[in-house]
Amino acid sequence: MSDTRISIRYASEDLRERADALAAELNLSLAGEPAGTPLVLILDGHGLSLALTASDAPGPIQVDFVTGRLGYRQARINLRSEPLARAVGIKGSERPSVVDATAGLGRDGFVLASLGCQVTLLEREPVIAALLADGLERAARDADLAQTIARMHLVTGNARDWLSALDEASRPEVVYLDPMYPHRDKSALVKKEMRVFRALVGDDQDAPETLEAALAVAKRRVVVKRPARAEPLGARKPSHQIPGKTTRFDVYLTG
């Protein structure tokens, strides 16, 4: 049975074959006009995007490493301006291997790959993984980004299961987690990415268990991104913290 939350719409007939393949891969139906599902994947000449269909919904979201804020940011990424770089242990010529266990739209993984890390992107929601795969494919065709994208490897699957199945030789040096923070009524008007994400995947209720799986395999450290005033994930006290105005990084040393 198809997922009744989401359908696929294609912009032109030359995209019908790809839309059919995506629908089969993701177990979704093709959308009519207008879409009768709360969410719709939109396939057009600019790639793949995802949108809510409600009348008050924000615009679609898309993984775009080439233009927009990520493209602008990539040219300005440096060690001094990236607290994430300090959090994962980048210093001097050291570039640890990183598993981004909650990849989402791939932004933090892109920053780490831009700084020279080999990054495995884990995303358990197949629709979000499809958006990420589409963004990676388009970025790989850009000469300025090809080397960065080559350091990013996408895996679709549950992070806890994937981490737990690693053998000794495959253990990463760092595991990075950025779990969805529990929704609050007072913050209902969150940015559009979060509105779409919540409609599709909800909160990461199993994030504490994923943290435990990460701690069991990371050779050097586990890094958890948290809202600045939030309690540590699973009430587990970190080794140290890297604070920021709105978010912080909790660092758990394992080595």
pLDDT at 193 over 80: no
- Rounded to 10 degrees, the C-alpha dihedral 128/72/112/199 comes to -20
**Strand ranges of the sheet holding 39-44, from the earlier edge strand across to the other edge:** 29-30, 6-10, 39-44, 47-52
pLDDT in tens, 220-238: 999 999 999 999 999 999 9
pLDDT at 4 over 50: yes
Spatial distance between the Cα atoms of 208 and 4, rounded to a whole number of angstroms: 29
pTM for the structure as a whole: 0.90
Domains and CATH numbers, the chain: 6-52 (no CATH), 68-253 (3.40.50.150)
Spatial distance between the Cα atoms of 247 and 223, rounded to a whole number of angstroms: 13
- Phi, psi for 190 (deg, rounded to 5): -80, 170
Q: What angle do CA 202, 214, 105 make, to 5 degrees?
A: 45
pLDDT at site 76: 60
pLDDT in tens, 174-187: 999 999 876 554 44
- With a CB cutoff of 8 Å and minimum separation 6, the contacts of 145 are 65, 66, 74, 139
Closest CA to 108 of 157, 63, 145, 139: 63
What single-letter amino acid sits at 21? Answer: A
Spatial distance between the Cα atoms of 60 and 52, rounded to a whole number of angstroms: 7
Average pLDDT, the chain: 88
pLDDT confidence bin for 189, thresholds 50/70/90: very low
pLDDT at 123 over 90: yes
254 with 223: CB under 8 angstroms?
Answer: no
44 SS3 class: strand
Spatial distance between the Cα atoms of 124 and 218, rounded to a whole number of angstroms: 19
Strand 152-156 to 119-123 pairing: parallel
